[in-house]
Amino acid sequence: MLRNAVRSLWAEPRAPQPPQRVWRDWVLVGLLLLTAILEGIFRNDLVWRPVAIVLAVGTVLALLWRRTAPFEVVAGVFGTLSLLSTVTLLSGQESVGLYVMICVILLPYSLFRWGSGRDIGLGMVFILIALALGLAADYTGLTEAIFGSMFLLFPATVGAAVRYRTSSRVRELDQMRLREREQLARELHDTVAHHVSAIVIRAQAGRIVAASDPSAAVDALSIIETEATRTLAEMRVMVAGLRQDEAAAMAPQPGVADLEQLARGSRLHVDLDLSGDLDDLGPSVGAALYRIAQESITNAVRHARAATRVDVRVAGDVDQVRLTIQDDGEAGAPGPVGYGLVGMTERAALLGGSFEAGPGPDRGWTVEAVLPKAAR
C-alpha cells in the first residue's frame, strides 16, 4: 500500500494553470529587493557582505518563478543555501545571510501547491539537506531547531492542503458537468428515438399501402425503414452506458409547453409569461429551457429569503429564445448555492447559448439564459 501511495504521488502531474505574475508579485519583489539592499548596506555585523547581498537579491528575484517553475526555484535557492552552509561549517565563520532571506518560506508552499509529484519529492530533498546543514552551521539549541524546522516546513503543509481542496473542487465540478452532459444526452436520445420510431411505423404502413404501386415506391419505403431502424439501434448502443439499464423513454422530453404545469406545482406563486415566436424550438432547446426554469424555481424556493413570487419570462424572436427568471427575495440575500448553477451554465453552453445569474437590480436573484432556437 505504501509503495502504491509513493508511486501515485510520484506520478502526480503539476497543478494546471498556475497564475501568471500580477502586480502584487512585482510589489512584493520590489519591497523585498529594497529591504535586501538597505540591510546589506547598513547592517554592521554582516559577514561576506557582497555574497550576502547577491544571495538575497537572487533569492528575491527567483520568487517571480515560484509558481511556474517551483522545482527549479527550490533546487536553485536551497542548493545555494546548502553550499554556503557547507562553506560556513568548513571555515568556522558565522552564517552568511540577511534577515530578508526569511522569504524562502514561500518556496515550500509553492512547491507543494504547484509542483508535480516528482518535483515535490526531489525538491524536499534539497529543502531537508539545506535545513540540516543550516542547523548544523548555526545550532543554538534543540528547541529552536525544532521550531525553526516547523516554521520552514509548515508552508509546505498549507500548500498541500490548498492543492487538495482545489483539486477536490475541480473534480466535483467535472462530475457535475458530466452529469449534465449525461442528462442532455438522454434527453436528446429520447427525443430522437420518439421521432425515429414514428418514422419506422410510417414506413411500415407505407409499404403496405404501396403494395399496388410501382416498385420504386416500395423500395423507397424499404430504405426509410432500414435507415430509421439502424439509426435507432445505433443511438441506443451509443448511450447504453449512460442509462445504467434504464429503459428508453418513447415520450418526448418536457419543453416550453410544460412550463405552465411547472408553475402550478411550485410552492411560490409563479407568474409565467410566454411571448414571441416559440413554435419552432428544437426539442433539446425546449428541454433545456424547462430544466433551467425548474432548477431556478427550486433554488428560489430553497434559498431566496422572504420570497413570495417568481417571475418567469420566455421570449422568442427569429433566431433565439430568452429565458428570464427573477424572484422577489430580500435585497442582498445570497443566491442559489451548490452546483446547480454549474449544471445550468454547462447545459446552455452545450447548446451554443449563454447563461448568467446574480443579484437582481432591486432585490432577489435573477437568472437569464439565451439559447439559439436550433441547437448547434
185-242 pLDDT per residue, tens: 666 666 666 667 767 766 766 666 666 666 656 666 676 776 676 666 556 545 554 4
d(CA 86, CA 133): 7
Q: What pLDDT shows up at residue 348?
A: 81
* Most confidently predicted of 8-12, 104-108, 289-293: 104-108
168, part of any domain: no
d(CA 134, CA 99): 14
Beta bridge partners of 371: 321
d(CA 252, CA 342): 25
Q: What pLDDT shows up at residue 232?
A: 64
Same domain, 296 and 346: yes
Mean per-residue pLDDT, 293-307: 81
Mean per-residue pLDDT, 142-150: 78
Q: What does DSSP say about strands 269-276 and 309-316: parallel, antiparallel, or unpaired?
A: parallel
Same domain, 186 and 314: no
Same domain, 193 and 74: no
- List pLDDT tens digits, range 270-279: 888 888 888 7
- List pLDDT tens digits, range 302-349: 777 778 888 999 988 888 899 999 888 875 544 444 556 777 787 788
Q: What pLDDT shows up at residue 250?
A: 45
Q: What pLDDT shows up at residue 72?
A: 92
Cβ burial, residue 318 (10 Å; 0-12/13-18/19+): exposed
Mean of the per-residue pLDDT values of the chain: 78
Cβ burial, residue 192 (10 Å; 0-12/13-18/19+): middle
248, part of any domain: no
d(CA 168, CA 162): 10
147, part of any domain: no
Same domain, 237 and 277: no
d(CA 357, CA 7): 43
Q: What pTM did the predictor assign?
A: 0.53
- List pLDDT tens digits, range 50-95: 888 888 899 999 999 998 899 999 999 999 888 888 888 877 776 6
Terminal Cα-to-Cα distance of the chain (whole angstroms): 48
DSSP structure string for 259-279: HHHHHHT-SSEEEEEEEE--T
Boundary of a domain, candidates 243, 273, 297: 243
Domain that holds residue 215: 177-243
280, part of any domain: yes
Same domain, 6 and 110: yes
134, part of any domain: yes
Q: What pLDDT shows up at residue 34?
A: 92
Q: What pLDDT shows up at residue 241?
A: 44
- List pLDDT tens digits, range 250-260: 445 677 888 88
245: confidence class by pLDDT, cuts 50, 70, 90: very low
Same domain, 29 and 117: yes
Region of 212 (left: φ > 0; alpha: ψ -120 to 50; beta: rest) is alpha
Boundary of a domain, candidates 198, 213, 243: 243
